[in-house]
Chains A and B, each alone.
Chain A
Amino acid sequence: MPQTADTGRDAHSAGTSVLSTPAGLRTTDLLSIGDLSAEEILLILDTAEAMQEVGTRAIKKVPALRGQTVVNLFFEASTRTRTSFEIAEKRLSADTVNVVASGSSLAKGETLADTVRNLEAMAPDVIVVRHAAAGAGHLVAKLCKARVINAGDGMHEHPTQALLDALTIREHKGCFDGLRVSIVGDLLHSRVLRSNLLLLEALGAAVTVCAPATLMLPEAARFGVRATTSIDEAVDGADVVMLLRIQLERMQGHFFPSLREYFRCFGMTAERLRRAAPDAIIMHPGPMNRGVEIASDVADGPGSVILEQVANGVAIRMAVLYLLSGGQGG
């Protein structure tokens, strides 16, 4: 099977599995989208498409991870992501254990390192970790032999979110090359943004980011994106409009004066959306603040693919778990 890097761009354009797609992943942990080549990203998307079918069966289960133990180690509140991982694991027949911060020994003062060493002593195969500190997944991976999946580490990354976003975009747009993607919201604190920038750049999309100057991505040019504080400019001609959550506590940090003013200046309304491409899709990683970063008629409108993102999350996580466990694509 030829494995030339040069064919990568064609693979993006085609948006489907072609000859250059590798059989499996080189990395054993998924801590960052940077761990993946463009071809590996496409392999995950292709595998996820195959996994989607499992969710439509009467018995939603395949034996791919039978006998494997997966620990969902969540130090931060999460409903969507944890549920999505757990459903993915169960559909692959893995044995799953959920460890949440409030019920763990971390609440009793144990360090993350000791928590991980104790889990490791029980020989898990995969640890899915969410933590408020950037790089927490790196620390977990350093301390254990289990494969580690980063389910969100502070402001750093959320790789499976970017992958499920990509799957959703591909379903609607077919390819990424030259696709105009605009990302609007709290860029500074967003791990979803960082994973998406790496992924969209690898697949050749043209990204514009937009936020108030106080929540702008620092050194945006070095990330290879166009940056603007004008929402109209950001939306103009966009094929994909992705909104990011505004965290309510940011007002205390003087990032913006009020939620009311945020919505007035940066909220996505049907009126603003008219500047986008006629078939533009609207995305949001959730949880949404209706009437802050997104108006309800946009969230519930014809272009919204927000619930498709959630549905694709299960398939993406199945694909990642399967491939990281040595599964082969195709």
Chain B
Amino acid sequence: MADAVVLRGGRVVDPANDVDGHVDVFIEESRIAGVGVDLILPEGVREVAVPDGCVVCPGLIDMHVHLREPGQEHKETIATGLAAAVAGGFTAVACMPNTEPANDEAGVTRLILERAADAGLARVYPIGAVSRGRAGEQLAELGELHEAGCVAVSDDGQPVASALLMRRALEYAGMFGMPVIDHCEDMSLADGGVAHEGFRAASLGLRGRPAVAEQILVERDIALACTTGAAVHIAHLSSRAAVAAVAAGKASGARVSCEVTPHHLALTDEELDAYDTRYKVNPPLRETGDRAALVEAVRDGVIDVIATDHAPHHYDEKLVEFDQAPFGVVGLETAVSVCLDRLVHGGVISLGRMVELMSVNPARILDVPGGGLSVGAPADLTLLAPDLPVQVDSTTFRSLGRNSPFDGRSFKGGVAATFVDGRAVFVNAAVSGADQLQIGA
């Protein structure tokens, strides 16, 4: 029974199965075989004590990352991105199609899945392009992309500008059960801006991207979701107005879901004073009132998912004038710390709600395995260390990207270990007692 392990004595938080308490988790042949007390276990099962204070939860799923391969391997590779993912507690990631070439045909999808299998770390769910070359003109072959393994479609940083194409994409992708994920921004209003349009950008002399550019496309997409009956997922919500639009859409019965990033929950445009390009991100960090509205929407349930929009860049690319720096921050290796510290310890949400936002809901929206510790499910688990003191040091990242807005900051909470198919793919040596978590290796 080398394959059988029981995790003993930890607090298990599994909101999908309404479990929150100190119970055992029995893993057999890489699947969940039982969760509870007084489980009937076979002879010879290996007993592993969950380190003090650690929490067992279903594996976290980041539904918005950029793995950069193929084409931009100087920023990140699938192998380094997945090493970062498991170090950040993620057992699965969904990767955006803005590779070179774009993931707009099955050959690219298969290459991504092949490289992911070679890495053998977190699961990868490719997101296909809505349009060929992400050019916003002609639908990509969504049926074949779905068959090859894509779980959703998006033109990523290119919002689907044409309302007609968006409508057709919703209808067509809906046939395959794939949501359309949209980066919502009216590009004519965004007008080449590099920061949130407001007092801060005005005083720094930076061109602004107004919140209304986001609001308009969110409202359009929700209207189209209502018309088509298809599912739309709004990526990285950033403004108070967009939150209100989603809340109204949900109230009207539209099939709309949405996500927010840890950096939009934790930071505002006040960080921009020194023109530090680590804070240049799209959508931009907005004002205090926007940040407060996002936090409130995480609390009250309007926001479904926390996703990182992990966007690694080479340091040379960020060491330029603010106007010229690429948008994006890395997030895989800091998301858990930011969310535990700011949201759970900050009294905004419970640990159970955090698991819903980072595991249950992404699994549901993408219709992929995971999100709960049900018997028979793959044994993808994350062990959180909610009280672990963490100081972010980008030089220790597994990601090739060092462009973290949280570099040097301290947080309470981190990751103790990550298991995929019952196998430890990451164990954090900084957690005492973690060494015995090396299981299935």
Contact = CB atoms under 8 A, between A and B. Distances in A.
Interface of A: 111-113, 131-136, 138-139, 153-157, 191, 194, 217-219, 222-223, 253
B323 interface: yes
Contact of A136 (B191, B274, B319, B321): B321
A113 B205 contact: no
A301 B195 CA distance: 42
Interface of B: 191, 197-199, 201-208, 274-275, 316, 319-324
A154 B208 contact: no
Most buried by A among B207, B275, B323: B275
B215 to A, nearest CB: 17
Most buried by B among A153, A218, A222: A218
Given A111-B319, A113-B319, A218-B199, A135 B204 contact: yes
Given A132-B323, A217-B202, 18 more contacts: A112-B321, A113-B319, A131-B321, A133-B322, A135-B204, A135-B205, A135-B206, A135-B274, A135-B275, A135-B321, A154-B323, A155-B207, A157-B205, A194-B203, A218-B201, A218-B208, A219-B202, A222-B199
A134 B202 contact: no
Contacts of A218: 197-199, 201-202, 208
Nearest to B199: A219
B205 A156 contact: yes
10 contacts: A133-B322, A134-B204, A134-B205, A134-B322, A155-B207, A156-B204, A156-B206, A157-B205, A217-B202, A218-B197
Contacts of B202: 217-219, 223
B7 to A, nearest CB: 48
Contacts of A217: 202
A48 B43 CA distance: 90
Given A112-B321, A134-B322, A155 B206 contact: yes
B320 to A, nearest CB: 6
B205 A139 contact: no
Contacts of B204: 134-135, 156
A217 B205 CA distance: 10
A253 B188 CA distance: 11
A154 B322 CA distance: 11
A155 B321 CA distance: 13
A134 B191 CA distance: 17
Contacts of A222: 199
Nearest to B201: A218
Contact of B321 (A133, A191, A194, A253): A133
Nearest to A134: B205
A138 to B, nearest CB: 5
A156 B206 CA distance: 7
A133 B320 CA distance: 10
Contacts of B319: 111, 113, 139
Contacts of A132: 323
Nearest to A216: B202
A53 to B, nearest CB: 35
A93 B201 CA distance: 39
Nearest to B203: A194
B206 A134 contact: yes
A136 B113 CA distance: 42
A191 B205 contact: yes
Nearest to A111: B320
A127 to B, nearest CB: 15
Given A133-B322, A135-B322, A155 B197 contact: no
B274 A153 contact: no
A253 B189 CA distance: 11
A161 B198 CA distance: 25
Contact of A139 (B198, B208, B321): B321
Contacts of A138: 274-275
A136 B320 CA distance: 8
A133 B322 CA distance: 7
A153 B316 contact: no
A154 B202 CA distance: 12
A134 B275 CA distance: 8
The 7 closest A-B pairs by CB, nearest first: A135-B275, A156-B205, A155-B205, A133-B321, A134-B205, A219-B199, A218-B202
A153 B320 contact: no
A219 B191 CA distance: 19
A135 B316 CA distance: 17
Nearest to A34: B203
A219 B316 CA distance: 34
Contacts of B191: 253
Contacts of A135: 204-206, 274-275, 321-322
A77 B26 CA distance: 71
Nearest to B323: A133
B194 to A, nearest CB: 9
Most buried by B among A134, A153, A156, A222: A134
Contact of A133 (B201, B274, B324): B324
Contacts of A157: 205
Contact of A113 (B197, B203, B320, B323): B320
Nearest to A158: B205
A222 B197 CA distance: 14
B191 to A, nearest CB: 8
Contacts of A156: 204-206
A194 B204 CA distance: 9
Contacts of A111: 316, 319-320
A134 to B, nearest CB: 4
